[in-house]
Structure 1
Amino acid sequence: MTYRAGWIHFTNVAPILDSLVLPPQVSAITGVPTQMNAALLSGQVDIANISAVEFIRNADTLEALPDFSVAVLGPVYSVNLFHTRPLQELRRIALTAQSAMSVALLEVLLRGRGLSPALERAEGEAEDLLNSGYDGVLRIGDSALREWYRVVGPLTPERTMTMLPDSGRGITVTDLAEEWFRLTGHPFTFAVWAYRKDRPPPAALIQAMRVARRDGIGHLAEVAQRHAARLGLPERVVQHYLWNFRYHLEAPDRLGLEEFAAKAVPGHAPLRFGERPAR
């Protein structure tokens, strides 16, 4: 029987998925986070790199690989709240339907500040939505990375990624992962590789993923070069963006994940992870 994978192939997982060679009897489809979340929960696929919040909400039926994650310590650059007023003055925020994770994180951060603006579904680029009447717009993924750079760039030989401002063109960009770090001091885990408990992945697939990750991280400049051309961004931007991620679900990442679970989904079932590979 074919084992079915569902990949969210944003640039942030390129070091794992770009060079992944699926073993025999494994097939894969791709989609945005909400599509792959639904595909895994409905049984259309058996494993997916899904939003951490969906893993938490469905911890009674899902288990996660113990050593794969998409996490950051500090800024992520691609999960951004674009706004034209200070955070405490926001009245209407447009939310993307592509990511339950980013919406849940935004809700946690707003509650932490005692804020309750209206949250409304609306798709489109940040500047267009801001011009249409919203004073805040949540954007994720590759498009959010491009829009962030459009607002705060450009890089110069003297100005690195960490020296870029957080505003430009009359817009402030609040990086939600950086806000999480300021709130908790922990990394933020955006995604895990989760699978249905009754359909654990074959060992050959897990090994192929580990080989691909080693190759991708070992050739990060080449990965960045490929994706920079596709995104229309400087290679320096994309290489720093990828270098910034934590792909191994280490103890600090799990600690941040558990804290987020407690804040976002009180009373959730225990989170379960497969056995870690031998060192």
Structure 2
Amino acid sequence: MTAITTSNSTKVNASHARCRLMRPVCPIFAQWTTPKKAARLPPMKWRIGSVPHLNARPLIYGIQQEVALCAPARLADELYRHGFDLGLAPVAEVLRHDQYDVINGIAVTSHGAVRSVFLLHRAPLDKISTVALDPASRSSSLLLRVLLEQRYGLKPEFVLRTRGDSPTDYEAALVFGDEAISYAAAHRQTGLDLGAAWTEWTGLPFVYAVWAVQRGIANGELSAMLHRAKTDGLTHLEEVIQNSPEGTPELRRDYLTKHIRYDLGDAEKAGLKRFQQCLCELKLAQPHELRFVD
């Protein structure tokens, strides 16, 4: 794989560079294609990827200079191709492909309203005929489909949002991540909060991202580094809040302290298992046993 020279003369592999460009990736649901396996890259210590969103920053605190930032769907594809050794990965990738170990004790989760993943809709929920999805987030799209079909008994048509379109250009649109946080800062109404809808339905937390490690790579040194980053990030959470651009400091503080959680314990694993079961029932994932490592 081609090496790319950055302005500070450091060389990074091409998959890292692609991720920093954050090009949109699609498709979703039954239209998904499985990426071809890429050749192994030259050996490095660890090649680490993460999503670039506010809720991920506390988990990469102190190691952010070693982490390539990718839109969620791009990160998932690069992980699948072995472009990364590990990534703070969207949960859909772990549930779709049985090639990862999951680091115990660390995740991006909510137990109730999440405020960064919601369905904006003009008509009443049961009157919606078309929903626009963001191709950058497969996990959020899958969660929305599960909720609409299995909780509410709805089967709208799903379309992809056109790049540059506002979510308000559509009858209904999925909004996630930093766009959702910015939207919430400017509007009182944010539609159906998917975190709240999931927990009200199941009584369980929802897990959005985990540290997914290529099977066999995880070891004590790697796990200790990730747990230390989490501890340091939560210790310096106010610094993360003050130095982030999304919304206002008050909104960021409320979001990171009241809505997002970072533990992966028994309740979160039960939520993961329930989501996997839902996806399998809709034939959107193949059943396999998740492997958690310390």
TM norm. shorter chain > 0.5: yes
Paired positions, count: 245
Q: 1:46 aligns with which of 77, 80, 85?
A: 85
User: Where does 1:1-279 land on structure 2 (aligned, <5 Å)?
Assistant: 1-2=43-44, 3-20=46-63, 27-58=66-97, 60-111=98-149, 112-123=151-162, 128-131=166-169, 134-152=170-188, 167=189, 172-198=190-216, 200-227=217-244, 230-231=245-246, 233-243=247-257, 244-266=259-281, 267-275=286-294
Q: Amino acid of the residue matched to residue 88 of structure 1? A: D
Moved >6 Å (runs of 4+) = none
Q: Distance in 1 between matches of 2:110 and 2:140?
A: 14
Q: Distance in 2 between matches of 1:50 and 1:76?
A: 18
Q: Distance in 1 between matches of 2:254 and 2:74?
A: 28
Q: Distance in 2 between matches of 1:125 and 1:188?
A: 29
- 5+ residue gaps, structure 1, are 153-166
Q: Distance in 2 between matches of 1:93 and 1:216?
A: 36
Q: Distance in 1 between matches of 2:211 and 2:291?
A: 12
Does structure 2 conserve the Cα–Cα contact (< 8 Å) formed by 1:74 and 1:181? yes
Shift of 1:234: 2.1
Q: Deviation per CA, 1:157-188, whole angstroms, max 9, x where unpaired?
A: xxxxxxxxxx2xxxx51111110011111110
Q: Amino acid of the residue matched to residue 39 of structure 1? A: E
Q: SS in structure 2 opposite 1:149?
A: helix
Q: Deviation per CA, 1:4-32, whole angstroms, max 9, x where unpaired?
A: 1111121001111132267xxxx532211
Q: RCO higher in 1 or 2 (8 Å CA, sep ≥ 6)? A: 1
**RMSD of Structure 2 on Structure 1 (CA):** 1.8
Q: Distance in 2 between matches of 1:129 and 1:71?
A: 24
Percent identity, please.
28
Shift of 1:206: 2.4
Q: Distance in 2 between matches of 1:20 and 1:150?
A: 32
Q: Deviation per CA, 1:116-170, whole angstroms, max 9, x where unpaired?
A: 11100114577x3433xx2101011111111122111xxxxxxxxxxxxxx2xxx
Q: Deviation per CA, 1:216-252, whole angstroms, max 9, x where unpaired?
A: 212222211111xx22x22111011111322120111
TM value normalised by structure 1: 0.83
Q: Distance in 1 between matches of 2:250 and 2:152?
A: 34
